[in-house]
Amino acid sequence: MKRLTPLALLLLAACGLQPLYSGGSGGDVAQALAGVEVAPIPGKNGWLVANALKDRIAAVPSANPRYRLTVELDDKIEGFGIRRDDAITRERRTLRARYQLKDAANGTVLVDATAGSDAGIDVVQSEYATIAAENTALERLAGEVADQIVARIALYAKRTK
């Protein structure tokens, strides 16, 4: 393994990069995330996204949240692999979220953005296996969308502190 020279260390320190979660659980970003209340999101996909958000935002929710996060989801499954007999062989599941981070005190919108991801699903002869694959894809997509939302909120918190 190569060692960094003092010049390389100096250049690296001067690049302006700073850790997003500096300070650990007591840092500005972690404290801001702990102050986010996730509004209920309807449906199974909403339940999955809301739980993923809560898992990523704070282990212990704040008694007096500073922010309120509202999320609207759009979940679609489209068939795109078609055989000669018109049977679908492949599906794409797309989960998109429009979310707003609002000041809990006055309702001012602080962040208004979107997040989304998609997954490919093989359609097989077993209907059970196809449904299981669709559900697994939804669980994975919910986690990916939650990651994108939390990262955007963390960037907002870092920039405003």
Q: Is there a domain that residue 16 lies in?
A: no
pLDDT at 80: 83
Closest to 95 (Cα-Cα) out of 69, 77, 121: 77
For residue 33, being part of any structural domain is answered with yes
List the domain range (segments joined by +) for residue 72: 22-160
Residues in contact with 59: Cβ distance below 8 Å, sequence separation at least 6, in sequence order: none
Reported as a single tens digit per residue, the pLDDT across 17-33 is 555 555 555 677 777 88
Would 7 be classed as within a structural domain?
A: no
Say if 141 falls within a structural domain: yes
Q: Name the domain count of the chain.
A: 1
Rg of the chain in Å (alpha carbons): 21
For residue 69, tell me if it sits in a domain: yes
With CA atoms as reference, report the closest residue to 149 among 53, 25, 37: 53
Residue 149: inside a domain:
yes
Three-state DSSP class for 62? coil
- Say if 17 falls within a structural domain: no
**Phi/psi zone of residue 83: left (φ > 0), alpha (ψ -120 to 50 degrees), beta?**
beta
Identify the CATH number of the domain in which residue 55 sits: 3.30.160.150
Low-confidence residues of the chain: pLDDT under 50: none
Among candidate residues 53, 66, 75, the one with its CA nearest the CA of residue 151: 53
The helix (H) or strand (E) run that includes residue 54 is helix 43-57
